[in-house]
Each structure stands twice: as C-alpha cells, then as structure tokens.
A and B are shown apart, each in its own frame.
Chain A
C-alpha cells in the first residue's frame, strides 16, 4: 500500500482502453472514443487511446477517426493475445505517465477482468458497467465542497431495480467500465488528425508468469442479457420475411431481437435469440412481445422485465397478464406505427 496516489489533473486527458483481438478492434472501443470525445470537449481536454498489441499500429487510424487525438501504441510480442498481468502493467504505466482525469474501458469480459486490477493498483475508484456518463458539478453533502466538472457514472444496480449515479472526487483518475452497445457509434471521420505515439513498457517475470495454452473464439453471439430493449417475435409473425418487421423495430429502438420457441421452430430466426425457460432469461428495461401468446415457458424468461408491451390480436392471450401496455391488434399494422412514432419523437 505504498504506491503514490495520482494528483488531480484538470488538464488530463479522457483516456480509452482500445480493446483488440486478432487485429480487430472491439466495437465498444470505438463507441468509447466517440463518448470520450464528447466528454473531452465539455472539459476542454484531449482524448487519448491506449492500444496494446503486436502489429496492430494500423488500428490507430480508426481510433483517431472515431475521436482520439492521441493513440499510445504499445507494441510487444507478449501483448499479442490478452493476458491480465502484462495488459494491466501497460495501463498502470501509461496512466502514471500521462495522468489522465478519466479512464474508460468496455464492460466486456476482457475489460471487466482488466479494469479492476488496474484500478486497485492505482488505488482509484472504478464503477462497473455504466450505461451513461455525463460531466457535471457535484457538491459533497458532508463537507459542502463543490467539485467542478466531475464524471457522473450512471449504472443500474440491485439486479436492475435501481439506477445509481456514482462520483469519484477525492482520488483520481475517475475510472469506469461501460456497457457494450449503449453509447452511440458515430460515423468515422477519416479526415480527423491525430498523433500515434509509440510507448515502451517493460514487464517483470511476474507479469509474464501466466501462460496462454490454447484459445478459441466463436463468432459473436447475440447478447440478449446485456440489451436494454428487446423486441421479440413469436409464431404470430408468421414468416421469416415478416420477421424483418421485428428487426426494424429493434433497430429503431437500438434494441436486440428476441423470439419465442415457436418462432425458432418456424425457422424465422436462429435459436440463439430464444427467450424463455430453455432459452435466455432477460430483464431489460423494455420488452416488446409481438405475436407471442405468453406460454408459461416463455414468460419465465421475460416477466421480470421492467416494462412489457404486448402486441397480440387475441385479447385473451395470457401475455397480457404480465404486460404493462397491451395493444390488441394485428402486429403487421401495429409494428410499423410504432417504428414511425419512434422516428418522429426520438
């Protein structure tokens, strides 16, 4: 417990950990560059991105196009594949070297393994799995001191039953992991300028003591559990073609696509989208069931959603018994109306 604590540095950057695997940047890293840009503009500071890896320098340009002013590129054979200890060493070193005021990681399996290790070494605060970030002043109710321009770290807690706003004013940097897919992915600007700085980091024997024996990556699966909004279709959607309506509504809401088993059995969509007892159990902020009767096995996987909208032309369908909003009607008419209403108002 003798590492020095980082001083408050109001000029410090907003720093993003750029997560890459097999020379592909994770989408959340680009989302974070965009969000960091927004926060940095509020603060009048720059956006930095740390890019550890082996032969990944090229990826720097994408980070710059998405909002980074400076990419700290760390090239080392030991960084070819992610391992906690050498990656943590890189982040700890670079934070100490450049003294950012904010450090952001994607709340991926990798980010959630790495960020707490780094925060502990820096003795900094860390908020997990944020769904929003803002800059605002904050007055400490105990001392009545006002702290200017802090990072508000907003996240669900208590199994999604409350939304908590966390601040971190007496120990810097302010650190957070951010849920995938909640920050807008902006279009890249290939004209944006930025610097790529090659940084050197040395590793101890301990840093290199864990050996990666074997690894296997599967194509990215739908992440229903992490979705804030889920639009699900059932047998009532009637065909794979009609299921495009469900995709469109989900797209308009920035949500994920779910399905009942009957929709999967009908071949409208893949099994990985199934919600229910033998599928995924979900608790999004909003669940929209379209053409789903609401069999007990389906309800078991979605009835704890904070808000449920049911669309079904049979007013006796059991799905209405768990719904907060019920729309009795033909989904082929109702869904397009919803898409229109959202596009108008959002």
Chain B
C-alpha cells in the first residue's frame, strides 16, 4: 500500500530581496546577480507529500526543471526526506513559458511512471503565475485542486480536500491520481534532519560530477577525466547519492513544444520599477508642493 507522490519544485531568484544592483541599465533583471532560493510555496508542497508518506506509507519523488545549479533545491528535498530526486536539465528547454514548462514536466512525470498524487506549490515568486500546476494536470489528463488548505482524507483511491476560494472555502472529493497546489498556510515544513543533511549534502547530479572532475584535474587527459567521472557516478549511485539528470531526449519530449518554439507568450519589453534606491524628498505642505508631487507620480505612472 502507500501512495507515490511526485513533488514539483523550483529554484527561483530571491525576488523578496531585490536591490538596485540586480537591475541592468536597460531595466531588465540581472538574474545572475540575484541569490537563489527554494521557491517558498514548494516547501509546503514537499511537506504535504512527506506527511502523506508518513501517514500512509509510499514514496516521494522530487522533480525540478532548471539549470545545473537547481540541483541545490533537489539536494534540499533529499535532506528533508524525499526518496528520489530528478533534475530536468537541457539547454533546449531554456526560455520555456508556463505552457512549455508544463509540457516538459508532463513528459518527466510520464517517464517516472505510476503516481497517485502530484504536489506543486501555489505559485513561484519569480512569475507569480500559478499556471504550471493546472496546466500540468491538464496535460496529464487528471483532476486538479488548486489553493489546497488541507488534505482531509485519503482512502479507496480518492481524496477529500479543502481548498480556499479567496472569499471562502470548499470541500471536494477527487479520485486519484490527481494534482494539488498547496498554500503556505497548509502546513509547517519540517526542518531537515541533521543525519540526512550529513548524508545528502554530498548528493550530486551527473553534470555536477563532471564539473567537479574538470575543476579538480585541470591538467588530466580526457581519458583520465572520463574514468574519474565514471567512477564518481558509480560511487554516488552505490551510496544512493545520485540525483538523476534527464534531458529532453530522455523524457522523449517533442522539441516543438519545448523552449522558445513551445512558448506562445513572448516578452516584448520589461521596465524596472525599483530603480536604484532613490533619495528622500521633502514636500512642502502647500498647494504648490503637493500639486508638484502628484504631477511627478502621474508622469512616472505610479498614479494613473
């Protein structure tokens, strides 16, 4: 018995702490200058899955699509209790919008095979779209419950779920398999157990092993490096520390639905609204002073 849960997690720029330095002169965001974090809502998705495993048995698989650096959030999933972690990494997936992302994730979930529950965070703090969850559910042909407050019951292949609807709540009965997006009020994510951290901080993807070999043996011959790399992978696998890394071919994704060609929405332009921290202006409490201030706010579109 037990339930197999798949949790979708994302590494995101820390948009809550953006400073002037993160903005380029043309008003676009310099992602490289931003620290990254585990998308906050996704921690609650992971916790919901771990909780199900604890209560009913089963397994938790964490999946993330992103650059090699996104292995960091998967390591954290392992430290917090996930049984398996998979990174979807492929240059051809770059610039995917939510539609292309949900397609790629649906291919990854299909490769993972059988599952009962898919958990996503309510939304990611870089885009705040909340779209990938419902789109992934549609691609997989399963029901969705967004804004989940609580999983009330789980038995006989069905779940009873309470979700928020903004100005109230509702309770739904849904047959498995299904997808849930989880609110941050749904639970309190457990901290990582020290014992797991000691163990899983050494978990690596193949891409990371390759990089580490290249960095540690700059002078070695390609053959030697290849040996070192193969040995490294084998040893990680034996110790259960390999974060699987799949590309678009591994998940048999059709390229026309991935990356730029799979993304109908295109960014036309971006304007920054946090400029470099501007100074303080004292405004005279007179008709003239206030009129000037209001005029400034209208010109810069703060007021419309």
Interface residues of A (CB under 8 A from B): 1, 83-85, 88, 108-110, 112-113, 115-117, 119-121, 123-129, 138, 140, 152-153, 156-171, 206, 209-221, 229, 253-254, 285-286, 304, 306-307, 309, 320, 323-330, 333-334, 337-338, 340-342, 344-346
What is the bound-complex CA distance between A166 and B289, given in angstroms? 37
Q: Are A157 and B294 in contact (CB under 8 A)?
A: no
Q: Are B295 and A345 in contact (CB under 8 A)?
A: yes
What residues on A are CB-neighbors of B166 within 8 Å?
A: 108-110
Q: Are B127 and A128 in contact (CB under 8 A)?
A: yes
Q: Are B274 and A119 in contact (CB under 8 A)?
A: no
Task: With A157-B126, A213-B173, A325-B282 given, name 18 new contacts (CB 8 A).
Answer: A109-B165, A116-B132, A117-B144, A158-B127, A159-B15, A163-B273, A206-B141, A209-B175, A211-B174, A213-B170, A216-B169, A217-B167, A304-B16, A323-B280, A324-B280, A337-B290, A341-B290, A346-B304
Chain A residue, CB-CB nearest to B142: A206
User: Least Cβ distance of A111 to chain B in Å?
Assistant: 10
Q: Are B99 and A119 in contact (CB under 8 A)?
A: yes
Q: Are B268 and A166 in contact (CB under 8 A)?
A: yes
Partner of A138, one of B168, B268, B291: B268
Q: Are B129 and A128 in contact (CB under 8 A)?
A: yes
What is the bound-complex CA distance between A203 and B229, given in angstroms? 54
Q: Are A127 and B265 in contact (CB under 8 A)?
A: yes
Q: Are B267 and A165 in contact (CB under 8 A)?
A: yes
Q: Contacts A168-B266, A306-B302, A326-B280 given; indicate if A215 touches B170 (C-beta within 8 A).
A: yes
Q: Mark B246-285, 1 if CB is under 8 A from A, else 0.
A: 0000000010010000011111111111100010111111
User: Least Cβ distance of A209 to chain B in Å?
Assistant: 6
What residues on B are CB-neighbors of A108 within 8 Å?
A: 166
Partner of B129, one of A129, A206, A338: A129
Q: Contacts A160-B273, A285-B302 given; indicate if A329 touches B285 (C-beta within 8 A).
A: yes
What residues on A are CB-neighbors of B175 within 8 Å?
A: 209-210
Q: Are B164 and A342 in contact (CB under 8 A)?
A: no
Q: Are A161 and B98 in contact (CB under 8 A)?
A: no
What residues on A are CB-neighbors of B303 within 8 Å?
A: 229, 253, 286, 342, 346
What residues on A are CB-neighbors of B121 within 8 Å?
A: none
User: Least Cβ distance of B63 to chain A in Å?
Assistant: 18
What is the bound-complex CA distance between A326 and B103, given in angstroms? 50
What is the bound-complex CA distance between A138 and B266, given in angstroms? 11
Q: Are A159 and B125 in contact (CB under 8 A)?
A: yes
Does B68 sit within 8 A of A, measured CB to CB? no
Does B210 sit within 8 A of A, measured CB to CB? no
Q: Are B171 and A214 in contact (CB under 8 A)?
A: yes
What is the bound-complex CA distance between A140 and B266, given in angstroms? 10
What is the bound-complex CA distance between A119 and B168, given in angstroms? 26
Partner of B271, one of A163, A209, A344: A163
Which of A140, A161, A286, A342 has the most chain B CB atoms closer than 10 A to its own CB?
A: A161
What is the bound-complex CA distance between A112 and B303, given in angstroms? 26
Q: Are A161 and B272 in contact (CB under 8 A)?
A: yes
Chain B residue, CB-CB nearest to A136: B268
Q: Are B18 and A161 in contact (CB under 8 A)?
A: yes
What residues on A are CB-neighbors of B135 within 8 Å?
A: 116-117, 119-120
What is the bound-complex CA distance between A92 and B147, given in angstroms? 23
Q: Are B129 and A166 in contact (CB under 8 A)?
A: no
What is the bound-complex CA distance between A1 and B283, given in angstroms? 59
What is the bound-complex CA distance between A327 and B125, given in angstroms? 34
Chain B residue, CB-CB nearest to A207: B143
| A-facing residues in B147-169 (Cβ within 8 Å) | 147, 160, 164-169
The secondary structure that dominates the B interface is mixed
| A-facing residues in B80-122 (Cβ within 8 Å) | 97-99, 102-103
User: Least Cβ distance of A83 to chain B in Å?
Assistant: 8
Partner of A309, one of B23, B263, B293: B293
Q: Are B285 and A158 in contact (CB under 8 A)?
A: no
Partner of B278, one of A153, A156, A324, A333: A324
What residues on A are CB-neighbors of B289 within 8 Å?
A: 327
What is the bound-complex CA distance between A160 and B297, given in angstroms? 17
Chain A residue, CB-CB nearest to B292: A341
What is the bound-complex CA distance between A216 and B149, given in angstroms? 14
Does B298 sit within 8 A of A, measured CB to CB? yes
What is the bound-complex CA distance between A188 and B278, given in angstroms? 43
Which 7 A/B pairs are nearest by Cβ-Cβ distance?
A125-B264, A329-B285, A159-B15, A109-B166, A128-B129, A125-B265, A217-B168
Q: Are A164 and B270 in contact (CB under 8 A)?
A: yes
What residues on B are CB-neighbors of A125 within 8 Å?
A: 97, 99, 263-265
What residues on A are CB-neighbors of B146 within 8 Å?
A: 84, 109, 112-113
What residues on A are CB-neighbors of B18 within 8 Å?
A: 158-159, 161
Q: Are A112 and B272 in contact (CB under 8 A)?
A: no
User: Least Cβ distance of B83 to chain A in Å?
Assistant: 29
Q: Are A84 and B291 in contact (CB under 8 A)?
A: no
What is the bound-complex CA distance between A69 and B107, given in angstroms? 42
User: Least Cβ distance of B130 to chain A in Å?
Assistant: 5
Can you report 6 residue pairs joining A to B where beta carbons are below 8 Å apart?
A: A112-B130, A158-B127, A169-B266, A209-B175, A325-B280, A344-B291
Q: Contacts A128-B127, A210-B174 given; indicate if A307 touches B302 (C-beta within 8 A).
A: yes
Q: Are B99 and A120 in contact (CB under 8 A)?
A: yes
What is the bound-complex CA distance between A180 and B146, given in angstroms? 19
Does B138 sit within 8 A of A, measured CB to CB? yes
Does B190 sit within 8 A of A, measured CB to CB? no
What residues on B are CB-neighbors of A341 within 8 Å?
A: 287, 290-291, 293-295
Partner of A128, one of B128, B138, B268: B128
Q: Are A216 and B168 in contact (CB under 8 A)?
A: yes
What residues on A are CB-neighbors of B268 within 8 Å?
A: 138, 152, 165-167
Partner of B297, one of A85, A120, A215, A286: A286
What residues on A are CB-neighbors of B36 within 8 Å?
A: none
Chain B residue, CB-CB nearest to A171: B264
What is the bound-complex CA distance between A304 and B14, given in angstroms? 14
